[in-house]
């Protein structure tokens, strides 16, 4: 019997970034009640470093987005620009009056407008965490396959065992 790994025993990790401490606390309570480990910050200047250190399974962001002050947009861009974080699902929860123009470029996994029903937010979280789990499993399988290929001895091609002439080389 294969022993479960420590990684599989731990709950998923969700990082919440919101510029309103009351909203951040509400998200933390809701998501924690759903069985995930939640960490959060209201400080955008800490958010990227925290995400790099934590390597969360999902990011929930409720940062303010507007055309004059764009720390929320910049955070998502910086997050997606990091190779270690590029595949982390991001769920954005925005004010209902936030214009949609320009948000599609962020390549987030879900875009929700306030007010958001808790059940709807939890459903989007579940879907994002399932996506994160599938990506992690695929990455693990690919690494194992690559490791197996790298450990195989290299065999030289025996020209006497080829069938027919070798194809001409093209440049």
Confidence at residue 150, expressed as pLDDT on a 0 to 100 scale: 79
Give SS3 for 66: coil
Q: What is the mean pLDDT of the chain?
A: 82
CA distance linking residue 107 with residue 86, whole number of Å: 10
pLDDT digits (tens, 9 = 90+) for 130-165: 988 888 888 889 888 888 887 877 766 666 666 666
- Has domain 8-142 been given CATH number 3.30.465.10? no
CA distance linking residue 134 with residue 129, whole number of Å: 9
Beta strands 37-41 and 110-113, pairing class: unpaired
pTM exceeds cut of 0.85: no
Tracing tokens 């309103």 back to the chain, one arrives at: 20
- Torsion angle defined by CA atoms of residues 82, 83, 85 and 87, in that order, rounded to the nearest 10 degrees: 130
First to last CA, the chain: 52
Domain boundaries, the chain: 8-142
Confidence at residue 149, expressed as pLDDT on a 0 to 100 scale: 81
- Please report which helix (H) or strand (E) contains residue 15, including its range: strand 13-17
pLDDT interval class at 20 (50, 70, 90): confident
């Amino acid at each position: 019997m294969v022993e479960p790994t420590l990684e599989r025993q731990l709950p998923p990790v969700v990082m919440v970034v919101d510029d309103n401490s009351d909203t951040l606390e509400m998200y933390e309570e809701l998501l924690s009640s759903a069985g995930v480990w939640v960490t959060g910050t209201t400080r955008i200047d800490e958010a990227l470093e925290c995400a790099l250190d934590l390597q969360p399974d999902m990011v929930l962001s409720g940062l303010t987005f507007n055309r004059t002050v764009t720390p929320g947009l910049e955070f998502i861009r910086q997050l997606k620009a990091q190779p270690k974080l590029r595949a982390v699902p991001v769920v954005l929860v925005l004010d209902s009056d936030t214009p949609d123009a320009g948000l599609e470029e962020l390549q987030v996994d879900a875009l929700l407008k306030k007010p958001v029903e808790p059940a709807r937010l939890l459903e989007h979280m579940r879907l994002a965490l399932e996506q994160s789990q599938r990506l992690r499993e695929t990455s693990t399988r690919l690494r194992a396959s690559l490791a197996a290929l790298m450990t195989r001895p290299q065999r030289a091609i025996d020209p006497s065992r080829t069938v027919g002439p070798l194809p001409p080389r093209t440049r």
